[in-house]
Amino acid sequence: MIVRLKPLSGSLVQQLAELARGSWDHPSVDGFLAGQGWEESTWNGYDTASGHQLVAGDPDRIGTGQSRFHLPFCFFDPSDDAGPLGDEFEMDGWVSLEGDPTAFDHAWSAACSAVATELGAAETTVSWSLGSRPWNFAGWRVGVRALIVAQGEEFGSYGELDMAAVWLIDLAPDVTFPDAGGFYGWMLGEG
């Protein structure tokens, strides 16, 4: 089992909160990214100054603007072989941790603490289980958006890996966060 981690800094959390408070039409997002010095990645999304990658929900820019973003900060491979997180892992500056799911959960908790330092206590914290162990979610309201620290599937591995990421999602001020059963689907835009 391997965990790859790129911890969140307070300044990155502040930048993500600034993005959450801004307009998400394409010209506004482009202006924000340019102002931060974040450039289009050769892998996926945009390379941040911290070495993370911000991934837009509409990478092909088909709509008039974005409805969500996510920024991975931890990957977990529950298998017993080296897998995609082993020596061939292609992202620079990520720490490799040997361990069990506890290390993945600790990375999620540390990210929640980093966000809470900048934004205060989470408005909601829920756990949801599809399999043998639960995924955890914590959500903060930032203007008309939610900033969520979440565990879930790493989409490029087709379910082989888990990922912890910060998500930015539209959330109107009069709408409450979903309960545990609906949280993951809502976060992905499926509900």
Higher pLDDT: 78 or 63? It is 78
pLDDT at position 82:
63
Averaged confidence pLDDT in the chain: 87
DSSP state of 65: B
Give the tens place of pLDDT for each residue, 78-112: 776 666 555 555 667 777 777 778 888 999 999 99
Mean pLDDT is lowest, of 48-57, 80-89, 144-153, for 80-89
- What is the pTM assigned to this prediction? 0.90
- Torsion angle of C-alpha atoms 140, 11, 18, 105, degrees rounded to 10: -30
Amino acid letter for position 181: G
Least confident segment among 29-38, 53-62, 108-117: 53-62
Q: In the predicted model, is pLDDT for residue 18 greater than 90? A: yes
51 backbone dihedrals φ, ψ, rounded to 5°: 95, 5
d(CA 53, CA 187): 18
Average pLDDT over residues 120-127: 95
